[in-house]
């Protein structure tokens, strides 16, 4: 088999465009769940309870992510990274476009939320396999001395996708009346994802699969790579979950739940929440490659340890800043929070790839990443709303999020350093 290589920058571009599109679709749902789905699909409840139900459908997408990670990981370790990346891109785009065409509760009754849940499951399944393929393709192309920096670029797709999602809804919200926005304006960003998928497909098809993967003989590829992960590398999975879980919890506190906190609890306009999220996504996008590059210099563990501790302390200031109602403090809170999230998120791509050998890397990295996402992200808005409804205070929410960030710091302390580890084809 040939060893055709694609220039690293083209691999980075293909992975980044794809992850941006997939996370755009995934976050578009989360933003819409916080702003409008409570009224369109669960209108017979009070606003906060309707939002809780909308976030329950939001959580379904996370539940599907480990399943997607397992399925895509299995075939990614068996037949290659690139083929699975193409499949995940199409699945996500089709599900998101279909959400934009759904009838609401007023038109279809209970069929509407059931269809919404089904499409959210498909979204979660697709994004469960996307991350692993995009990250591993770059990690296996990158020089070991700069692996943290280069592998972080698919991570950049998260704030880029969030920026597109919040931005598209912000434009619709600013240019349309309330009635127009709720009737048809929210649909346009979902339907537009079909166009983005065509662009992503065109870019990705020109990229060759990882030469490192292609050097593995068919006889060396495990029939069931997941079983090999669970049998011989379960400690690496546990380490990966510990490193990933806290940043996921905090991220969705700052993005999905903060929008609800501002609009439903404190009655702030949607424009303030979306504007702050846009600014925060820009800052996060800058911090991801910066701290990933830092991890190439000082190691992954010190970056995780320091960022986790600072982030945990910051969560006790986050909600009071939002509650002030002052525009500048709201912007500062979300921008600072997402900058800290980028500090944790950036080095995670290389770190998770370095925990597993090439023959099972897709399965192992996806399993750790997606299990952490379910534990950390899926139930975060639900728990936060329930805590606030019970205690009437943001302090229990801060304690909850800070605890998960301390888990990151402790995991970093007890784990081994992976910076500079060489990848081999066996």
Whether 207 is covered by a domain: the verdict is yes
Whether 406 is covered by a domain: the verdict is yes
Q: Domain with 128 in it: what CATH number?
A: 1.20.1250.20
CB-based contact 55:382 (threshold 8 Å): yes
Distance of CA 307 to the CA centre of its chain: 18
Whether 62 is covered by a domain: the verdict is yes
Residue whose structure tokens are 């996806």: 366
Distance CA(424)–CA(319), nearest Å, equals 46
pLDDT tens sequence for the chain (426 residues):
444 567 888 888 888 887 888 778 777 776 777 677 777 877 666 666 666 666 666 667 777 888 888 888 888 888 877 888 888 888 888 888 998 899 988 888 888 888 888 888 888 888 888 888 888 888 988 898 999 999 999 888 888 887 888 788 788 878 888 788 878 888 898 888 888 888 888 888 878 777 777 777 565 677 788 889 999 899 999 999 999 999 999 998 998 788 888 887 888 887 888 889 889 989 999 999 999 999 999 999 999 999 999 999 999 999 999 988 889 999 999 999 999 999 999 999 999 999 998 888 889 998 998 889 888 877 787 888 889 888 988 899 999 999 999 999 999 999 999 998 888 654
Residue whose structure tokens are 């996060």: 284
**What's the predicted TM-score (pTM) here?**
0.81
Task: State the virtual CA torsion across 98, 104, 107, 112 in degrees, nearest 10.
Answer: 70
Distance CA(396)–CA(402), nearest Å, equals 10
> What Rg do the C-alpha atoms of the chain give, in angstroms?
20
Distance CA(35)–CA(259), nearest Å, equals 8
Find the domain containing 306 and state its range: 8-414
> Which residues have C-beta within 8 Å of that of residue 120, sequence separation ≥ 6?
29, 57, 58, 60, 61, 64, 95, 99
| Other Cβ atoms within 10 Å of 178 Cβ, number | 10
Whether 426 is covered by a domain: the verdict is no
Distance CA(70)–CA(358), nearest Å, equals 16
Whether 422 is covered by a domain: the verdict is no
Query: How many residues does this entry show for the chain?
Result: 426
Structure tokens at 98: 């279909």
CB-based contact 212:425 (threshold 8 Å): yes
Number of structural domains (the chain) is 1
SS (H, E, C) the chain: CCCCCCCHHHHHHHHHHHHHHHHHHHHHHHHHHHHCHHHHHCCCCCHHHHHHHHHHHHHHHHHHHHHHHHHHHHHHHHHCHHHHHHHHHHHHHHHHHHHHCCCCHHHHCCHHHHHHHHHHHHHHHHHHHHHHHHHHHHHHHCCHHHHHHHHCHHHHHHHHHHHHHHHHHHHHHHHCCHHHHHHHHCHHHHHCHHHHHHHHHHHHCCCCCCHHHHCCCHHHCCCCHHHHHHHHCHHHHHHHHHHHHHHHHHHHHHHHHHHHHHHHHCCCCHHHHHHHHHHHHHHHHHHHHHHHHHHHHHCHHHHHHHHHHHHHHHHHHHHHHHHCCCHHHHHHHHHHHHHHHHHHHHHHHHHHHHCCCHHHHHHHHHHHHHHHHHHHHHCHHHHHHHHHHHHCCCHHHHHHHHHHHHHHHHHHHHCCCCCCCCCCCC
Angstrom distances, CA of residue 153 to CA of 123, 348, 365: 22, 11, 16
């Amino acid at each position: 088999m040939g060893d055709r290589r694609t220039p690293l920058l083209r691999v980075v571009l293909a992975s980044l465009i794809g992850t941006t599109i997939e996370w755009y679709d995934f976050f578009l749902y989360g933003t819409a769940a916080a702003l409008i789905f409570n009224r369109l699909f669960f209108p017979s409840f009070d606003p906060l309870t309707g939002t809780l139900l909308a976030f329950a459908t939001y959580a379904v997408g996370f539940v599907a992510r480990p399943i997607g990670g397992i399925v895509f990981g299995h075939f990614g370790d068996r037949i290659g990274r690139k083929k699975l990346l193409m499949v995940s891109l199409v699945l996500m785009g089709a599900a998101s476009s279909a959400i934009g065409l759904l009838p609401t509760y007023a038109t279809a009754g209970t069929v509407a939320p059931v269809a919404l849940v089904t499409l959210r499951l498909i979204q979660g399944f697709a994004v469960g396999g996307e991350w692993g393929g995009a990250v591993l393709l770059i990690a296996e192309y990158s020089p070991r001395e700069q692996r943290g920096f280069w592998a972080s670029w698919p991570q950049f797709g998260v704030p880029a996708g969030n920026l597109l999602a919040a931005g598209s809804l912000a434009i619709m919200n600013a240019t349309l009346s309330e009635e127009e926005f709720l009737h048809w304006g929210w649909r346009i960003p979902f339907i537009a994802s079909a166009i983005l998928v065509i662009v992503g497909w065109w870019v990705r098809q020109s990229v060759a699969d990882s030469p490192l993967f292609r050097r593995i003989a068919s006889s060396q590829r495990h029939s069931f790579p997941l079983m090999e992960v669970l049998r011989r590398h379960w400690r690496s999975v546990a380490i990966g979950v510990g490193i990933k879980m806290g940043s996921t919890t905090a991220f969705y506190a700052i993005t999905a739940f903060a929008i609800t906190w501002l609009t439903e609890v404190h009655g702030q306009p949607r424009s303030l929440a979306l504007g702050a999220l846009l600014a925060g996504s820009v800052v996060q996008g800058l911090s991801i490659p910066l701290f990933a590059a830092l991890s190439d210099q000082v190691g992954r563990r010190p970056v995780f340890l320091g960022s986790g501790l600072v982030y945990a302390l910051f969560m006790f200031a986050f909600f009071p800043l939002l509650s002030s109602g002052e525009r500048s403090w709201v912007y500062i809170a979300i921008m600072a929070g997402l900058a800290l999230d980028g500090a944790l998120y950036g080095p995670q791509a290389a770190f998770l790839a370095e925990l597993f050998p090439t023959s099972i890397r897709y399965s192992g990295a996806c399993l750790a990443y997606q299990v952490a996402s379910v534990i950390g992200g899926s139930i975060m808005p639900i728990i936060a709303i329930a805590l606030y409804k019970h205690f009437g205070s943001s302090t229990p929410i801060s304690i909850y999020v800070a605890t998960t960030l301390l888990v990151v710091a402790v995991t970093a302390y007890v784990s081994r350093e992976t910076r500079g580890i060489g990848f081999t084809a066996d």
